[in-house]
Amino acid sequence: MKKLKDLLLRIKPPILRYLLLGIVGLAFIFLLFLGSIYAGVWGKIPSKKDLSNFQYQVASEVFTSDSVLIGKYYLNDRQPITFEEFPNIFYKL
Protein backbone atom coordinates (compact mmCIF):
# COMPACT_ATOMS: atom_id res chain seq x y z
CA MET A 1 0.00 0.00 0.00
CA LYS A 2 2.86 2.33 0.80
CA LYS A 3 4.45 1.70 -2.61
CA LEU A 4 1.17 2.63 -4.32
CA LYS A 5 0.97 5.82 -2.28
CA ASP A 6 4.59 6.69 -3.14
CA LEU A 7 3.88 6.00 -6.80
CA LEU A 8 0.89 8.32 -6.77
CA LEU A 9 2.82 11.04 -4.96
CA ARG A 10 5.52 10.95 -7.65
CA ILE A 11 2.93 12.30 -10.10
CA LYS A 12 3.40 16.01 -9.54
CA PRO A 13 0.29 17.66 -11.05
CA PRO A 14 -2.65 16.87 -8.74
CA ILE A 15 -5.12 16.85 -11.65
CA LEU A 16 -3.25 13.94 -13.28
CA ARG A 17 -3.12 12.13 -9.95
CA TYR A 18 -6.88 12.45 -9.46
CA LEU A 19 -7.54 11.54 -13.08
CA LEU A 20 -5.49 8.36 -12.69
CA LEU A 21 -7.29 7.50 -9.44
CA GLY A 22 -10.63 8.11 -11.16
CA ILE A 23 -9.78 5.86 -14.11
CA VAL A 24 -8.54 3.09 -11.82
CA GLY A 25 -11.65 3.47 -9.65
CA LEU A 26 -13.99 3.28 -12.65
CA ALA A 27 -12.17 0.23 -13.98
CA PHE A 28 -12.52 -1.46 -10.58
CA ILE A 29 -16.24 -0.66 -10.42
CA PHE A 30 -16.71 -1.97 -13.97
CA LEU A 31 -14.92 -5.23 -13.13
CA LEU A 32 -16.96 -5.54 -9.94
CA PHE A 33 -20.14 -5.06 -12.00
CA LEU A 34 -19.09 -7.73 -14.51
CA GLY A 35 -18.29 -10.10 -11.66
CA SER A 36 -21.73 -9.51 -10.14
CA ILE A 37 -23.38 -10.33 -13.48
CA TYR A 38 -21.56 -13.65 -13.76
CA ALA A 39 -22.25 -14.39 -10.08
CA GLY A 40 -25.98 -14.09 -10.80
CA VAL A 41 -26.70 -11.06 -8.62
CA TRP A 42 -28.88 -9.49 -11.34
CA GLY A 43 -30.58 -12.75 -12.34
CA LYS A 44 -29.77 -15.84 -14.34
CA ILE A 45 -27.92 -15.34 -17.62
CA PRO A 46 -29.52 -17.44 -20.37
CA SER A 47 -27.25 -19.94 -22.10
CA LYS A 48 -26.57 -19.93 -25.84
CA LYS A 49 -28.90 -22.91 -26.18
CA ASP A 50 -31.71 -21.03 -24.41
CA LEU A 51 -31.23 -18.02 -26.67
CA SER A 52 -31.16 -20.08 -29.87
CA ASN A 53 -34.37 -21.95 -28.94
CA PHE A 54 -36.38 -18.86 -27.98
CA GLN A 55 -40.14 -19.47 -27.95
CA TYR A 56 -42.25 -16.32 -28.07
CA GLN A 57 -45.96 -16.04 -27.42
CA VAL A 58 -48.13 -16.29 -30.51
CA ALA A 59 -51.84 -15.63 -30.87
CA SER A 60 -54.35 -18.45 -30.48
CA GLU A 61 -56.60 -18.72 -33.52
CA VAL A 62 -60.13 -20.13 -33.47
CA PHE A 63 -61.45 -21.71 -36.69
CA THR A 64 -64.85 -23.05 -37.71
CA SER A 65 -65.25 -26.61 -38.96
CA ASP A 66 -64.86 -25.38 -42.56
CA SER A 67 -61.52 -23.64 -41.75
CA VAL A 68 -62.77 -20.06 -41.54
CA LEU A 69 -60.98 -17.93 -39.00
CA ILE A 70 -63.38 -16.72 -36.30
CA GLY A 71 -60.94 -14.78 -34.17
CA LYS A 72 -57.54 -14.40 -32.57
CA TYR A 73 -56.85 -14.26 -28.85
CA TYR A 74 -53.58 -12.77 -27.65
CA LEU A 75 -51.89 -10.56 -25.11
CA ASN A 76 -49.28 -9.40 -27.62
CA ASP A 77 -49.81 -10.09 -31.30
CA ARG A 78 -46.33 -11.19 -32.31
CA GLN A 79 -45.88 -12.39 -35.86
CA PRO A 80 -42.60 -13.99 -36.92
CA ILE A 81 -40.83 -12.30 -39.83
CA THR A 82 -37.69 -13.06 -41.78
CA PHE A 83 -34.62 -10.83 -41.80
CA GLU A 84 -35.46 -9.63 -45.31
CA GLU A 85 -38.83 -8.28 -44.09
CA PHE A 86 -37.23 -5.78 -41.68
CA PRO A 87 -37.97 -2.15 -42.56
CA ASN A 88 -35.21 -0.26 -44.37
CA ILE A 89 -34.78 2.09 -41.40
CA PHE A 90 -32.72 -0.58 -39.61
CA TYR A 91 -30.22 -0.65 -42.47
CA LYS A 92 -29.65 3.10 -42.19
CA LEU A 93 -28.64 3.04 -38.53
> Residue 69 falls within a domain, yes or no?
yes
Cα R_g (the chain), whole angstroms: 27
For 13-37, the pLDDT digits (tens) are 878 888 888 999 999 999 999 999 9
pLDDT reading at 72 higher than 70: yes
Q: Give the whole-angstrom CA distance, residue 93 versus residue 86.
A: 13
> Residue 44 falls within a domain, yes or no?
no
> Residue 79 falls within a domain, yes or no?
yes
Q: What CA–CA distances, in Å, run from 86 to 15, 23, 79?
A: 49, 41, 12
Helical axes 14-39 vs 2-9, angle rounded to 10°: 140
Q: Which domain holds residue 20?
A: 2-39
> Residue 20 falls within a domain, yes or no?
yes
> Residue 83 falls within a domain, yes or no?
yes
- Is residue 56 located within the same domain as residue 35? no
Considering the chain, what percentage of its residues have pLDDT values greater than 90? 25
The total number of structural domains in the chain stands at 2
User: Which pTM does this prediction carry?
Assistant: 0.50
**Considering only CA atoms, which of 33, 35, 11 is closest in space to residue 21?**
11
Measure CA 88 to chain center. 24
